[in-house]
Structures are given as structure tokens and as C-alpha cells.
Amino acid sequence: MAQHAKAGRTRTLDAVDVVVDADAHVTESVDQLLEYVDERDEGLRRIIEDAAQPAHDIYSVAHPTPPFIHTDAFGDVYSDAPTGSLEAKRAEMEEFELDYSILSPTLNLSLATVNNDRAAVVLAKAYNEWVLDQFTEEGDDSILTPVVIPPQAPDKAAEIIDDNGNEDGVCAVSVPSTGLVPPPGHRWYDPIYEAAEDNGLPLLFHSGSGATADIFPVMRKWTEVYAEDHAMVHPFTAMWNLTSMLFQAVPARYPDLQFVFQEAGVGWIPYTKWRLDDHYLQPSDEVPGLDKLPSKYVDDQFTFTTQPPGYTGHHPEHLAKMIELVGPENLMYASDLPHPDFDPPEELFDRIRGHLDDEAVRGMMGETAVDVFGLS
């Protein structure tokens, strides 16, 4: 877990021109979203509103124990001040000297678990209206948001992308990627990929803990503490989704589309690339849609956020070596604010400077994200 410095610490990022947080969460509530539900969807609004516990009754989210029950161990506990307003997000950016923040949802990371497709569409539309209304301002691109889509309704999701793709403040498309059934390589999702590519928007895949029942049912049933769930769900989901997309040739079919995987760290990436290359080379007739190694598609079309980099406090050279294996040009700094395991920029910067060249450091801290998200 991140070892956070207290407020007032000395700034160490003078050598970096731009710092982009590629995964900065807002903390939306069902009550906030209900205010943005179209009156034509009043019936669905009542269903959502009348749920006794929306996280269980609408979203299929449950944790074995309360998330981050020992948050007092972190000193500055930002999770106790949910980022539900523009003012709070700007305060975070000022505190950590962030030039840009790419927003991520919190509750709606579990949107794929909503069993009622129509309700999922309504919630996605409401979230997008809420986040654009509450967090973006005309003429200011320092805070940008992806369009969140309901993956269980691909045609409607494509319409949402087309309707919002040119809105000020929109920089990407977010696919809530825990609980995706079928997995994301399936042609079921082609309307989403087509719409994202047509609108020139990268696709973000962000998993969420507590929403693993569909794809990891045994893990979900038998984890007894939140740490078990949280430690594994992000890299497991990322490996599953990346494998599905590559072996079903999604990047080959959409060569102009960029993909971003968030909040799974970096350690799993080299292993997964090597293993997929190995399987491609052995029975390669099973994946006829690829015309090069899976790892080459990863290098060309995939970017990954760094949080959490993993604990290498005593051996930062280990993290630097892992970054070299991934390719620093395929990595972007992310904080995961305001969650209690967040990483301030120094958490990454202090561990990689001196072990990687200046160009690689500048790219990871912000310049790569400027290119991926089209920042000015």
C-alpha cells in the first residue's frame, strides 16, 4: 500500500512539465443520479429509487467486509471526504499539483452487474449528465471525463457514445469491466468499438471490487475479507479481459482504436504478454484474426495506468525493471484519488527517477496521457 507523505511535503516534480492523473475518481450516489433521470423514464426511476439498498438491489455489489476498514493507518484519509463536487476535486488537484485529471466513476464501475438492461442505460445516461454538469466547465480542459456506457446494451451504448462524443469535457469512453458477460472480445460489443473508433475516443477498462460474482464466482463466494477481493480482482479481471480481446482479434479489427486499462498496476503485464505470445505461437491456427504477436498489439494499441505500482519501497530498481519490461511509453501515472490506497505523484516519480531516463519519466508522469486523451 502507498506510504503517503503528510500535507506540506516538499515538491519533487520540478523536472516534469505536466502531470496527468489518468484515474481520478468521483463518488457518485444513486440519489445524485436520480436527479438526472429523464422524466420519460419515470417507471425505471421509481424502481431504482425504491430499492432498499441500491448497491445490492440494482448493482450486484457486495464486499466480504467493509472496504478499507483500517483507513486510519494511512494518516491523511482522503476517502473520508468523498469527491462529489468540483470544488473537492479542484482541492485535490491543488494539493497534489496535478495539471489534469481524467475522471472515473465509483459506483458505476459496477454498471455491468445491473441485470435490468433498461435500468443500466438510464443509470449510464444519468451519470454522464451528472458528471458533465457537476465537474466540467466550458473552456477548461483540466478536468475531463469519459462517457460511461452500459455494456449489457451495446446498441444503446453506441448511441450514448455518438450523442456525447463531441461534448466539451469528454475525452474517452469508459467500459465498466468487472462482470462483463460475455467477455469483451465477443462480437456482442462491436457496436461499442465501432462507435468509439468513429468518434476518435480511447476505450477505458476499469474493474471494480465487489462485483466479481459472474466471472469469478468461487473467489467471490469464499473471500472472507475485503483485502482478498481487492488485491486480486483488478489484475485478474485485466488479464481475463486482455486475453479475450487479443485472442478474439479486437485490436486487429479496430486498428485505429486505443485501449487503456486502469488500476491493475504493472506487474501482471509482462507475464501476460509472454504467455499469450507463447500460446499464439503454439496453436496459432486458433487465433486466425491476428497477423502479429499479441504483445505487438499491446505495444501498439494499449496503455496502462500505474496505480498501484506495488510495494517496492526498499528496492525501487525492481519497479523500474518491470516498467522497462512493459515499456514506459505504454504507462501513465494515476492516483486513484480519493481512495485510501491512492498514490500521489511522488509515489511513482521518486521511485523511477534515477532508474529510467528523463524522457521515460516525463512520458509516464503526463506526456503520454496528453497524447492518449488529446489534451491541449
How far is residue 179's CA from residue 110's CA, in Å, rounded to a whole number?
Answer: 8
Looking at residue 72, its pLDDT comes to 41
- Domain borders along the chain are 20-373
Region of 374 on the Ramachandran plot (φ > 0 left; ψ -120 to 50 alpha; else beta): left
pLDDT in tens, 220-259: 677 777 778 777 788 889 999 999 999 999 999 999 999 9
**Lowest-pLDDT range of 215-219, 232-236, 271-275:** 215-219
C-alpha cell at 100: 489534469
Looking at residue 166, its pLDDT comes to 96
pLDDT in tens, 20-70: 999 999 999 899 999 999 999 999 999 888 886 777 788 877 666 666 554
Looking at residue 314, its pLDDT comes to 80
Looking at residue 310, its pLDDT comes to 83
Looking at residue 180, its pLDDT comes to 87
Nearest to 230 by CA among 65, 31, 4: 65
CA distance readout (Å), 81 to 26, 76, 89, 100, 341: 11, 11, 10, 20, 14
C-alpha cell at 64: 466480504
- In single-letter form, the type of residue at position 175 comes to V
Enter the pTM of the model. Answer: 0.91
CA distance readout (Å), 318 to 164, 262, 271, 313, 321: 42, 21, 15, 9, 5
* CATH 3.20.20.140, applies to 20-373: yes
| Percent of the chain's residues with pLDDT above 90 | 64
